[in-house]
Amino acid sequence: MPTPVKPRFSIMKRRFTIAISVGLLLLASSLGAAEKKILFVAGKPSHGPGQHEHRAGCLLFKSCLDKVPGISSIVYSNGWPNDPAAFEGASSIVLYMDGGPAHPAIQDDHLAQLGALMKKGVGLVCLHYATEPTKEKGEREFLEWIGGAFEVNWSINPTWDADFKTLPKHPITSGVKPFAGHDEYYFRIRFPEGMKDVTPMLSAIAPESAMNRPDGPHEGNPAARESVKNREPQCVAWAIHRPDGGRGFGFTGGHYHDNWRNDDIRNLVLNAIVWSAKANIPSGGIASTITPEQLKQNLDPK
């Protein structure tokens, strides 16, 4: 007997149905994988007007990320969230706050809270003073989680003009061009031995004028003076891809709020935040534009 021939319409209908089903599955999978939650923790008001504008800076970054498909973000102002459940579902946490002994991340059980999240592969980003825990509490964890930490009597916090002439090839530097800028760029950061798993993102040679203050816990020390005298490149931003798969980023700039108007600085940090959440970064980076009016929004009354 001849083999029955299925109607052409039936075959086409079946193929169309299969194609639609596969397409919907791929779309659902793509959307699920792309959805990332960024949680910003902005510290309390600090320093003079236009300096350490933690809340305004975090809200500015949120406004940029709100335009990125698959990214959602929330900002908690004036310190650590009271409810630990606030961190649930976070893909990455951004800390922008004052550090030192009063660093919110080392108060109460906050280090333990972060530690539990890090074990789940959650990313961590620390900006400016937030890179400084204390040597006695938090430094060991910060070296593991973000790859570096400001250490009293080792690191220094001068205000200087940095010229970042070259950038490494990395998702964080996508679409970012070499740039120069004036900020309180901390350097001689304490890193893990041999910079294990750490990639420097921004490095520049500090001028001798960066050492024009007497030695002090944050101001200088003989080793720092020798390093600057020898014109050694000073790393002020770095990233770590942790062995457990988690990602971290530290950036010591961010003292002056006005510097976020620089497209390259802002886009570098946006790239780092998205990268730390394990989201894909387009070849041109997470590009953003802001207006002078946007930069002035949400400043703390000082």
Tell me the mean pLDDT in the region 125-137.
98
Tell me the mean pLDDT in the region 115-131.
98
Alpha carbons 111 and 139: distance in angstroms, whole number: 11
Residue 223, pLDDT > 90, answer yes
- Give the residue ranges of DSSP H helices in the chain: 8-34, 54-65, 110-119, 139-145, 222-229, 263-276, 292-296
pLDDT for the residue numbered 13: 46
Residue 293, pLDDT > 80, answer yes
182: enclosing H helix or E strand: strand 179-183
Measured torsion, CA atoms of residues 83, 50, 249, 230, in degrees rounded to the nearest 10: -150
Residue 12, pLDDT > 80, answer no
pLDDT for the residue numbered 107: 98
State the pLDDT confidence band at 281, using cuts at 50, 70 and 90: very high
Residue 213, pLDDT > 70, answer yes
pLDDT for the residue numbered 31: 39
Tell me the mean pLDDT in the region 73-89.
95
Residue 5, pLDDT > 60, answer no
Query: Pick from 282, 273, 267: which is nearest to 38 by CA?
Result: 273
Q: What is the mean pLDDT of the chain?
A: 91
Q: What are phi and psi of 281, to 5 degrees?
A: -110, 125
Angle at 233 between CA 231 and CA 237, to 5 degrees: 150
State the pLDDT confidence band at 21, using cuts at 50, 70 and 90: very low
pLDDT for the residue numbered 34: 58
Q: Tokens 């200088």 map to which residue?
A: 220
Predicted TM-score of the model (pTM): 0.89
Report which of residues 16 and 47 the model is more confident about.
Answer: 47
Residue 215, pLDDT > 50, answer yes
Tell me the mean pLDDT in the region 112-131.
98
Amino acid at 120: K
State the pLDDT confidence band at 25, using cuts at 50, 70 and 90: very low
For the chain, domains (ranges, CATH) are 35-296 (3.40.50.880)
**What 3-state class would DSSP assign to 207?**
coil
